Amino acid sequence: MEGSALAARGLTRDFRGFRAVDGVDLDVAAGSVHALVGPNGAGKTTLFNLLTGFLAPTAGRIELQGHDITGLAPERVARLGMARSFQIASLFPQQTVRAHVELALQGATSLGWAFWRSDRLLRRFRERADELLERVGLAESAGEAAGSLAYGRKRALELAIALALDPKVLLLDEPTAGMGVEDVERTVELIAAVRDGRTVVLVEHNMSVVGRLADRVTVLQSGRVLAEGPYDQVRADERVVEAYLGS
Ligand code: ADP
């Protein structure tokens, strides 16, 4: 696991006797973009939830930058430097776009909830929120209600919220799901832009997105690792082609 930003060994999760993730080994190199792919039901979402602490493993071990994080709650994992993209369902439709990011920044800082939250501190949160919104292309929407954003822009807001934690490892669950071609393009550019030395793990169905963003790809099938390697190598692997044809 040495040198890995995120690693798993023998990671396993059962649901009432059904093994959704089955002895997965994973090594995500620091600073790389690593994609998790596989046909429907392969175990990608379950693996994602295990890595971020939203599900406890039945067996196995997870390390974040050399720290054993197996079984830790999501908040603890987040504090150790790993953030996941939020789900749209968790946005407050009436709140402004900026308020969402300010709130995330306050939550990420232990000072955020202190009773001496000074004007200066609040100003600092606002400036930082505006910087993050600028980075994800939402500067002009800062004062709008989050509920009024178009779908692709909501996903950009989720990314800004995740970035508020300044995570070393960023996990993105199907960042382009349900998007039209234009939003997919924008999202690919956005992820490439916010990457900036961070480690990124993404679950992604769109293979052209994977090909453009990922340094390495892990292919899952029936809860197991079917193949792992650079995109071109994995794409040419006959077992991978078959797994997709059969799905
Ligand atoms: P993917 O994201 O690759 O489509 P999932 O991780 O969602 O795959 O699911 C993997 C398998 O585990 C599927 O067969 C699914 O039905 C099963 N599964 C996932 N979550 C649960 C759950 N909470 N209870 C029972 N079975 C589950």
| Dihedral of the alpha carbons of 79, 85, 91, 96, in degrees to the nearest 10 | 80
Answer yes or no: do 117 and 16 share one domain: no
Q: Please indicate, yes or no, whether residues 152 and 31 belong to a single structural domain of this protein.
A: no
Which of 117, 143, 166 corresponds to the end of one domain?
A: 166
Q: Whose CA is nearest to atom 13 of ligand 1?
A: 41
pLDDT tens-digit profile of 81-131?
998 886 556 788 999 999 999 988 887 766 545 555 678 888 888 999 999
Of 110, 144, 166, which residue sits at a domain end?
166
Q: Are residues 160 and 143 in the same domain?
A: yes
Element (H, E) at 118: none
Q: How many other C-beta atoms lie within 10 A of the C-beta of residue 177?
A: 14
Q: Is residue 247 within 6 Å of ligand 1 at its C-beta?
A: no
Contacts of residue 202, Cβ cutoff 8 Å, sequence gap at least 6:
33, 34, 35, 36, 171, 172, 173, 174, 175, 191, 210, 213, 214
Q: Tell me 223's DSSP state.
A: T
pLDDT single digits (tens) 45-83: 999 999 999 999 999 999 999 999 999 998 889 889 998
Ligand 1 atom with minimal separation from the 47 CA: 6
Please tell me the predicted confidence (pLDDT) of residue 115. 54
Write out pLDDT tens, residues 144-199: 999 999 988 988 899 899 898 889 999 999 888 888 888 899 889 989 988 888 99
How far is residue 238's CA from residue 247's CA, in Å, rounded to a whole number? 14
* Residue 153 and residue 176 in one domain: no
Q: Tell me which residue range forms the domain holding 142.
A: 88-166
| Residue 150 sits in the same domain as residue 75 | no
Write the CATH number for 3: 3.40.50.300
Residues 1, 77: one domain?
A: yes
Whether residue 204 sits in one domain with residue 152: no
Q: Are residues 50 and 98 located together in one domain of the fold?
A: no
Shortest-distance Cα residue to atom 27 of ligand 1:
15
**Tokens encoding 200:** 């990124």
Ligand 1 in reach of 17 Cβ (< 6 A)? no
Give the pLDDT confidence of 5-23 residue by residue, as tens digits: 999 999 999 999 999 999 9
Same domain, 14 and 54: yes
How many structural domains does the chain have?
A: 2
In a shared domain, residues 153 and 98: yes
**Residue of the nearest CA to atom 25 in ligand 1?**
15
Q: Residue range 199-209: average pLDDT?
A: 92
